[in-house]
Amino acid sequence: MRVISIQSQVAFGHVGNSAAVFPMQMHGIDVIAVPTTLLSNRPGYPSLRGRVLDAELVGDLLDGIEERGAVDSCDMILSGYLGSPGIGAVVADFVARAKARKPSLAYCCDPVIGDRDRGLFVPAGLPPLVRDRLCPLADIITPNHFEFEWLTGARATTSAQVIDATKALMARGPSVVIVTSAELADTPSGEIATVAIEKSTEGIRAWRAGTQRLPISPNGTGDLFAALFAAARVRGSNTPDALAHAVSAVFAVLERTAMAGTEEMRIVESGELLVRPVRRFEAVAISAY
């Protein structure tokens, strides 16, 4: 089992590939990690060193792994924070080329462009490129609630509205849409929801998995979720089982992080919990079309 993971890399902390690679490896997956940034740490600290990589360099790395047969032996491509429109275009070209070479290859796009606290936090040309080039190539997309509303251009405050807004996205490409950190009016008080919508020959089905809202909000949780969901799918899980596993494992990491009182997620010391979380939060069917 092999995943090509294209996203940011930091020397200190756990975001991007620095949050995604180890969890996938814990699931027995060989990860080919292609960086889009080399940074000392995530933004938000008093200082930040390093830089977003040149698009040409990222393209060279992708050409290099392609020459080593990575596409032929790969089960899924996962992309996250890209850093520049140039990198976005290079990744879109690579994914299109890879899927043409190997039609069974799945692509999971985590459209990292913003959040509720900061709005759009990537260069101006990147969000439309993610929407218009990467999402149509994807089989799975995993936006947070803010990103989902930006991609669809629709306000979604209930599960029904999320499902309705998803239809336009699915008409253009992905068959599975996961909305993380969903703030919905029909979510029980004190919970945070993750909603999965899947299009199949039987129609559109949807599930929701809710967990207790913890008093922390570390960076990188979306990167961790996307990696865990991708790992579960590569290992053969269907959408509701993959959703339940990813949500449960993320909660286990966040619970340990809250107990430790640290800013960065306690991913490494939660290694066993990534694979076998103590508590399982089931994915509950919420609609069928």
Residue 275 has pLDDT above 50, yes or no: yes
pTM over 0.75: yes
For residue 170, give the nearest of 203, 207, 126 by alpha carbon. 203
For residue 145, give the nearest of 239, 222, 226, 227 by alpha carbon. 222
- Domains of the chain in start order, with CATH, are 2-288 (3.40.1190.20)
pLDDT digits (tens, 9 = 90+) for 105-119: 999 999 999 998 899
Q: Using pLDDT thresholds of 50, 70 and 90, give the confidence band for residue 289.
A: very low
Helix axis angle for 85-101 and 55-67, nearest 10°, is: 20
pLDDT for position 168: 86
Q: Using pLDDT thresholds of 50, 70 and 90, give the confidence band for residue 183.
A: confident
Residue 288 has pLDDT above 80, yes or no: no
Q: Determine which of 46-50, 127-131, 148-152, 165-169 has the lowest per-residue pLDDT on average.
A: 165-169
CB of 155 closer than 8 Å to CB of 161: yes
Instruction: Please state the rounded mean pLDDT for residues 30-57.
Output: 97
pLDDT for position 52: 98
pLDDT for position 287: 67
